[in-house]
Structure formats: C-alpha cells, structure tokens
Structure 1
Amino acid sequence: MRRKRTLAGTAALGLALALGLAACGSDGGSDASGSAGEEQGGFTPPDIPMKESLGDMEGEVNILAWPYYAEDGTADPAADWVTDYEKDTGCQANVKYFKTSDEAVSLMKSGDWDVVSASGDATLRLIASGDVAPVNTDLVPNYADVQPFLKDRLWNSVDGQMYGIPHGWGANLLMWRTDKVDPAPTSWASVFEPDSPYAGKITAYDSPIYIADAALYLMNTQPDLGIKNPYALDADQLAKAVEVLKTQKAEVGEYWSDYLAHIQSFTNGDSVIGTTWQSNANALTAADVPVEAILPDEGSTGWIDTWMVAADSPHSNCAYAWLDHIVSPKTQAALTEYYGEAPANAKACGFTSDKSFCDTYHAADAAYVEKIWYWTTPISDCLDGRTDVQCTDYGDWTQAWTEVKG
C-alpha cells in the first residue's frame, strides 16, 4: 500500500571518501534536483568495466531490495511481479529486503548480491566504493521509455554515464489534519518556525537526510546564507540547519520512519501536521481521516530509487534481465500502484487499474519534478559547484543528526 521503508540512516561516508569520492560540483544551473553531465561535473569513480553484451542466463539472480519491490505473490496474491520474470528468463529470483539505505550499502559490500534498489542517499556511496558497475542502458530496452527528467541525474550517473535504471519516485509532502489546523498551511514554515500553536503534535522524518529539509527552509527564508543546494552545505550552513532542527525538536511530537505508525499518529490526532508521503495521505483519506497534503510553493525534498548492478555480479545476464523487467510498463504499473509511488516508465500509466493514479502521483509532470530536491548523498566536494570551500559529508550529517536528536 505504501512506502514500506525505514530510512533512519546512521552510517558515515568514510569508506566512500577513503576510496576517492571527489565530486567536481555543478555550474549552478537552475534545475532544482540537479543533473549529471555538464551540470554535475561528476567525480572520478573506480574503474569498473561496463557490460558490453548479453549472454546466456545464469539461472538465478540475487536481489537486494526495499520491501515489496520484488514480490512473487506469496504474501499477497495481488502483488506478483516476479513470477513472470522467472518464467520468461529461467532465472530464479532470490530476494532479501533491507530496512535502511545504510543496511543496503553494508550488504552490497558482501558480494552476495547482483542487483540493489538504491535510494539517492546510497547511490553515490555505492558508486564511489566500487560496489556497483556503470550500466549499459543499450542492454535495457525498456530504459528508452523512462521519463527523460529521471535520466542522467546527480544521484544515478557520473559525467553522463548512468549507474542504474530509475525505478519510482515521490516528494516529501506537507500534510495536516484539516479539522485541527487552521488556517491551512502553505509553506514549510508551519513546521520549522518557533512557537507553533501545534507544538507537540508536529511530526518530522527520522533520518540524517532530513537535514536537507531544514536546509531547503533556510534557502527560502535566509538567502544570505548562500545555500544553493540543500545537499551541499559547508560547516557554517550545516550549523545553521542544525539550529533550525534543534529549535524544531522542542515542538516535534514524533520522529517517524515507520509509515504505519505515522498513519496511526495522524488517525488518533497525536500528530496534526508534518512531513508525509502521498501514499500515507491516500491511506488516511481512504480511512476518512480529514487530511490534506501539498507540495509547498518553495518545493520539497523527495526520493527516487535506482536499480544498480553489482560490480562483480556472477549473474549479470539475469541481473540485466531483471532491470529490463522491473522497468517494463506492466510491471511498473503493478508495482508502483501497489507500493504508492510514481513510475519511472512513461508507458506504465496506460496499465494502472486506477486511471487517475499517475495524475495523483504527478508521474509525467516535469514541472512538479523540478520542485523536488531528490535525496542525494552529501559529499565533501560541494555539489553546488563551489570550489573555495569544503562541504560537509554524510558522516558529518549523521553526527549532526545525533546531536539534534540528543
């Protein structure tokens, strides 16, 4: 039914940095979520060869995925996008679900997994550590139908070379109980400004990546800080974001990562305003809980998942077959509708059972996408193009988040 993930990341970026993670940054383009190639500049990843052609299927593939991304109908007969893959390819799908991005990064180092569905706060770490290989998109026919605005971006490519196949995405929305919050909020200021009338009933996402939400708030309220990208913060900018979050903590009733607990909190009124996902809002509305969720005018953070192939996968042919299958129109329609996210494949919208699904999730709305700053791993070389200062990395953010939470 919804994003069944818990992204309370806690690991530092030290290994990736030790392996030479050095991004050249962007040229300061206007694209909110950033793009690769000329705008990103890219960093120099380890020299991992890219697969040049497909061969015989190896008979199995080991899949590391977010929960519900590789269902075979066992848990729910309505959720099965694995059986057809196995029948068509002869590849047995061996699936393990992970709960956090940090867990996925750690598991990929074992060498036991062929493919992984990595979020934007994990992808650059996997690339920099040499755990994943560049992806030859010519070997993934359905990649041609992936929305152009999801290709060659900061979180899935380096210098124009794709390192994965976009899967599904969404924005972090502002939600409130319409019977308890008045007037209706229009800005993230409603959860970050001090002395809120809803103190103790505000909810915030429980992860170091939530620092970017505070940074985005500062981008719009304190432009003199010079924040141009909420994932590119120097030490002073990070300190300011931490100040905002510490002030907010006094008014937060719940830090959430469990979507079911989040829904229950809004259902019983323990939470009345805060960050959410579209599917959580849909579930509450379906249960007649009076909520509304919006993407504020100043934009928001968001997430997109990318299927990546292990650098030394012993089942790379089955892995590439999985990439093509999971991004095919019918599979995308079934999976993303069940899961609650916008599909990457533009043709998927023709196969959803709910014909308004793609409109609800803004699947083809490029203007909507431009308001989203997708989760991207913070790294020491500034992603906003600055070269006269060192930016803070994911390790710094993890330490800062610990300081915020106390």
Structure 2
Amino acid sequence: MKQTTRRRRLSALAIAGLACSAALTACGSDDETSTTAADELGEMEGEVSILAWPGYVEDGSNDPAVDWVSSFEEETGCQVTSKVYGTSDEAFNLTKTGDYDVIAASGDLTLRMIAADQAAEVNTDLVPNYDLVFDFLKDQEWNTVDGKNYGVPHGYGANLLMYNADVVDEPTSWSVVFDESDQYAGKVTAYDSPIYIADAAMYLMATQPDLGIENPYALDEDQLAAAVDLLKQQRENVGEYWSDYLKEVSAFKTGDSVVGTTWQVIANTIDKPNIKVTLPEEGVTGWNDTWMISSQSQNVNCAYAWLDHIEDPEINAQATEYFGESPNSQEACDFASEGFCETYHAGDQEFSDQIWYWRTPVAECLDGRTDVECTDYSDWTKAWTEIKG
C-alpha cells in the first residue's frame, strides 16, 4: 500500500530530503506519495492523466473547433488521457485510485481531498500564469489550508434563481422555492447534491437569525436539522431534482419546471425571453473550481505544465466559455466572445462577494466556532438521502 508523506511545516533541509535529486526537481515514485510541493521542475515525463468535469479537457474529438489539449501536447510532449465525472462524490472515490495526476475539483471536493492526503501542495511560483488570476479567487478556504495553496483557480459561477416569467412574478427572495414553494407545487426544481443543503442554510441565515448560522457550510447538529426540515418541506413541491443541466433545460422548455436553482449557462441554452434569472436578496451559493495535483501523481512535471496551460488567458477563455462560467482573469476576457464576460460578471468583485462558494463541510467549524463540533460532509450525505426519501 502506498504511504503518504504529510508535512505542515517543511524546512529547506526537509524538502531536500524528499526531492528526487540534488536539483530539487519534481518527481514521481512508485513507492510513496507526497503532499509536499515541488521546489522546481524537471524533465517532462511524456504523459499526464486528468480527472475533470465534462467540458474541461477538450481535444477536438467532441467538436473539432473545441480543442485546447492538442496545443498542450505539442508544446510539452505530455500526452493527455482524461476521464470525466458527474459528481464530486464520484470524483473523490476516483482520486483514491491514484490513476490521475491532475483533478479539477469543486469546493465540495477540495477539502475532502486535502484532509485525506489525496492532494499535493502546489508551488504557484511554478505556474507563471497564476499571477494573472483575479485576487479574490486566490488564497481562499476552498483552495488554501494553513497558508498553503493546494491548486490554482479555474472558472467560477453562481447558482442563480431561474423562473418562468409567464407563471412566476419576478422573485426577490429564495422564499419562492422554500417557504412559498407550495404555490408552484410539482414545478419547483432543485440541484441534486448534498451540497444543496447550503442553499437552504443560506436562506435560513437571513430569515431565521436566531439559529445563529454565520456560514452555510458550517452547521452544527441543530442548524443542520433546521435546514433538513426546510428541505423536506420543499421536497413536497419539487417536481424533479437535477444534476445534468440538460435535464433542467428540457423541464423549463416544456413547462414541467417554472422556478428553481440554476446556472447562467442553462438560461442561455434555453434562450427564451420568458425564462429569466435573478440573484435573490439572501445571496447565492456557487463554485470556483480548482486544478489540483494528486499526491499520488507519477507525472508531476507534466501536471504543473497542465496547470500553467489551463491558466493561460487564451486557453482559460476557451475552456470557461465552452463550459459556461466566468474565466479567472481579466486578460482571459480579451479572448472571450463579445459580451461573454459581462454576462458572467467576470472580475466583478461586488457580484462575487454575494456568492457563498462551495466548501467541504468539516467537523472543525468553518465559521471559527470552537465550542461545538460541526457536521461534516458524510453527515450531509446521510441527510440528503433522508430529504429525498
């Protein structure tokens, strides 16, 4: 079984002891894994395996016009193999196999990987394009622990409220899918994941302040119970839950759904004047995905090369626009289609400040409380099963 080396603080001597040569270059070993960061890069290994959301690693096979893998292979000599996943839970299980060098992880996965020693610290000095990334995406709770970066930001987006204006008056609050959802019984839709519990907690944070919720990802047992009760109440009026966005596109086009949580790209895909999105007064949840390097990677140099490639403004613009999310730098907007960055609020920190970005719930409360133990992701997973029945 592979052994994991974990360090909170590393001196230069300790780093030297872990390096595979006197030059302190990044390396892989068949005998152990390491969560420590590379000090400098060495010769490319010739291959890299990537685990990512659909649409993040395109090589032209799905659409000849959509390809940012081939240029990477030509420039680095690193041949790419990739696998897509459908949920963060699936990705977490796949990372444990050690088959992947690089993982594109949402905030409900990153801390799980770090806690399980499945992610290596990333030396951002070895990713030159990292300097261009919006500052408000750097050094955040979902990509940085104890001052150590465990990846580089990709794109980001918000879980907005979508509604059919022919049926629903313009809502200003998430109450339309929670406390007032019975008026649209059977036609409410919601995201199908335990992390959706945070949406309910965010709503309760604003509407029931006595619960003391300060961070929707930091819930003690009583706070989680309150969110579960609200979601069970909502469940009576939900027509369907979605994780595949095409499922929601179809439901809104047919009228089977008239209100619910969504992504901007879904509204764009539907492209009907009566289907609108809004950012409610309580705020929204959202995501900022992180490119991480596996602690079991045998191709660390190619992994770093991929991180810098996908951070390149031109490449990042292609990838994020294809997926339907904001790019990670202002420079990327120079390569995006006209109006794209405005639609997705790229670089708009005021908009970003209203997003509670996905984070992994852990027992050590993310809101700083030390007098109580918070519920972790496994608790949320059990609760979600209970909610859906």
Name the TM-score, length of structure 1 as normaliser.
0.86
Q: Which amino acid aligns with 2:338?
A: K
Q: Which residue of 2 aligns with 1:334?
A: 318
Residues 1:193 and 1:111: Cα distance change in structure 2 (over 3 Å): same
After TM superposition, list the pairs within 5 Å mapping 1:200-279 onto structure 2.
200-279=186-265
Corresponding residue for 1:5?
A: none
Partner of 1:313: 297
Aligned 8 A contact 1:201 1:252 in 2: yes
For the aligned residues, what is the CA RMSD? 1.4
Q: 1:402 aligns with which of 375, 385, 388?
A: 385
Q: Which of residues 372, 379, 385 in structure 2 aligns to 1:389?
A: 372
Which residue of 141, 144, 147 corresponds with 2:131? 144
Quote the Cα distance in structure 1 between the aligned partners of 2:244 and 2:98.
29
2:30 aligned partner = none
Whole-angstrom distance in 2 between the partners of 1:206 and 1:403: 13
Contact 2:121 2:149 in 1 (8 A): yes
Counterpart Cα distance in 2 of 1:313 and 1:203: 39
SS in 1 for 2:108: coil
- From the CA coordinates, give the structure whose radius of gyration is larger: 2
The AA in structure 2 aligned to 1:283 is T
Give, as a single letter, the amino acid of the residue that structure 2 aligns with 1:384. D
Which residue is 2:283 aligned to? 299
1:7-406, aligned counterparts within 5 Å?
Answer: 48-181=35-168, 183-194=169-180, 196-285=182-271, 288=272, 290-352=274-336, 354-406=337-389
How far does residue 70 in structure 1 lie from its aligned partner after superposition?
0.6
Alignment length, in residue pairs? 359
User: Following TM superposition, by how much is the alpha carbon of 1:360 offset from its aligned partner in structure 2, in angstroms?
Assistant: 0.5
- 1:268-309: CA deviation from partner (whole Å, max 9, x where unpaired): 000000100000011112xx3521101112211001110000
Other structure's SS at 2:369 match: coil
Which consecutive segments of 4 or more residues in structure 1 shift more than 2 A? none
Between the aligned partners of 1:392 and 1:174, the Cα distance in structure 2 is 27
For residue 200 of structure 1, give the secondary structure of its aligned residue in structure 2: coil
- Where relative contact order (Cα < 8 A, 6+ residues apart) is larger, the structure is 1
AA aligned opposite 1:155: W
Ranges in structure 2 where 5+ consecutive residues have no aligned partner: 7-32
Q: Is the 8 A contact 1:267 1:289 kept in 2?
A: no
Pairwise CA distance, 1:312: 3.0
> How far apart are the structure 1 equivalents of 2:346 and 2:48?
29
Deviation at residue 47 of structure 1 after TM alignment: 7.4
SS in 2 for 1:314: coil
Amino acid at match of 1:207: S
Contact 1:328 1:345 in 2 (8 A): no
| Matched-pair contact (CA < 8 Å) for 1:156–1:162 | yes
In the alignment, is the contact (CA less than 8 A) between 1:61 and 1:114 conserved in 2? Answer: yes
Shift of 1:112: 1.2
> Contact conserved, 1:58 with 1:91, CA < 8 A, in 2?
yes
CA shift for structure 1 position 323: 0.2
Distance 2:45 2:143 in 1: 26
Distance 1:306 1:195 in 2: 34
Return the offset for 1:194: 4.2
Task: Name the CA distance, whole Å, in 2 between partners of 1:322 and 1:400.
Answer: 37
Q: What is the one-letter code of the residue matched to 2:352?
A: V
Structure 1 SS opposite 2:119: coil
Distance 1:47 1:82 in 2: 27
Please give the per-residue CA displacement for 1:85-133, whole angstroms capped at 9, x wherever unaligned: 0000011001111111111111111111100001101100111111110
Decide whether the 8 Å contact of 1:194 with 1:247 is kept in 2: no
* Cα deviation, residue 402, structure 1: 0.8
CA distance in structure 2 between the aligned counterparts of 1:99 and 1:403, rounded to whole angstroms: 21
